Amino acid sequence: MATAPGHRLSDRVANLWRAIFLVVPYAWLLAFFLIPFVIVLKISFAESLIALPPYSPLFQWAEEATLQIKLSFANFLYLTEDNLYWYGYLNSIKIAAISTVLTLIIGYPMAYGIARASSTWRNILLLLVILPFWTSFLLRIYAWMGMLNREGVINNVLIWLGLTSEPIQMMNTDFAVYLGIVYSYLPFMILPLYSTLERLDLNLNEAAMDLGSRPMRVFFDVTLPLSMPGIIAGCLLTFIPATGEYVIPALLGSPSSPMIGRVLFDEFFYNRDWPVASAVAVVMLIVLVAPIMFFQYLQSREAGAAR
């Protein structure tokens, strides 16, 4: 090739483009995703001050230019002392776990039904699953407030049917929180389940049938194990954000059963105690890091398998 210098130039241009593609999103994520967490970690070790920003500096140049690092574990100790935090974490994990199981129980048959529908129906049903997701999340929770109220739709129907004479208290209970979480996260469960169920090889089911398995056995021995990646993805997509959920417990839940997301929000906005709010966030991250790492590991494995 006679155009060696030209090639070299275009190589350089290509490298420049590669660098831009890599550096721009990388730098953005470092600046606005990673560094913020480092700051949270830093502030969680600081002492509360009344002045703005309400925390003490971590590093101080003491005399003779020695760098002094003051780490205060007071905020973390404070978390262990107050029952509110313990209760908040455990209650969040409990509510998120039960809601995740309920979402799976409701979502699995729906995903399976969609995967087995004819191709025209499949697209329509999928669209119907995604449609509520595109409309506002806050407004859908608000819709449930209208349903669950003492004077709400459900109580009206129950009284009209004669099933109850007094309206049942449903708003501001754990029941309402479970309902809200299951309702909001159902699409996140159905979509990954659907995408694994749709790809399943039906020949395997037929083979099992031919070998004399009954439908129930085929389901538990063949379909269910093969849909495991979808189940895991759907459960993590539900469990992790549900643990830190703020809006649903704040609007539907009772103040006596706080979830940790709400505790953090209140600590920050009402008590204005930044170091303690940061410590709450750090512990929450530690609790959630295990499932997040697991999720990443699964994703990288799946990406590896797809290649």
Partner 1 sequence: MRNRSIFLMTALILGFAFLYIPIFSLIFYSFNAARLATVWGGFSTKWYFELFKNEQIIDAAILSLQIATVSATVATVFGTMAGIVLTRFGRFRGRTLFTGMITAPLVMPDVITGLSLLLLFVAMELTFGWPSGRGATTIGIAHITFSMAYVAVIVQSRLAAMDESLEEAAMDLGSRPFRVLIDITLPLIAPAMLAGWLLAFTLSLDDLVIASFTSGPGASTLPMVIYSKVRLGVTPDINALATIIITVVTVGVIIAGIAMHRREKQRLRDMQMAASGNS
Least separation in angstroms between residue 177's CB and partner 1 is: 15
Closest approach, Cβ 100 to partner 1, in A, equals 13
Distances (CA, A) of 220 to 17, 110, 214, 226, 228: 51, 17, 10, 10, 11
Q: How far is CA 223 from CA 105, 119, 213, 306, in A?
A: 15, 20, 13, 20
Q: Which is nearer to partner 1, 30 or 77 (CB)?
A: 30
Nearest-approach distance from CB 62 to partner 1, in angstroms: 22
Token couple for 137: 């999340």
| Of 22 and 63, CB closest to partner 1 | 22
Which of residues 62 and 306 has its CB atom nearest to partner 1 in the complex?
Answer: 306
- By C-beta, is 77 or 130 nearer to partner 1? 130
Nearer to partner 1, 3 or 63 (CB): 3
Shortest separation between residue 226's beta carbon and partner 1, angstroms:
17
Q: Within the chain, where are the H helices? A: 4-29, 35-44, 74-81, 83-116, 119-134, 137-148, 153-161, 174-199, 202-210, 215-218, 224-226, 228-243, 247-252, 260-269, 274-306
Amino acid (one-letter) located at 171: M
Q: What is the dihedral of CA 211, 213, 217, 221, to 10 degrees?
A: 0
- Tell me the closest approach of the beta carbon of residue 66 to partner 1, in angstroms: 23
DSSP-derived 3-state class of residue 44: helix
- Residue 250's nearest CA partner among 242, 241, 259 is 259
For partner 1, the closer of residues 10 and 271 by Cβ is 10
CB of 127 to partner 1, least distance (A): 6
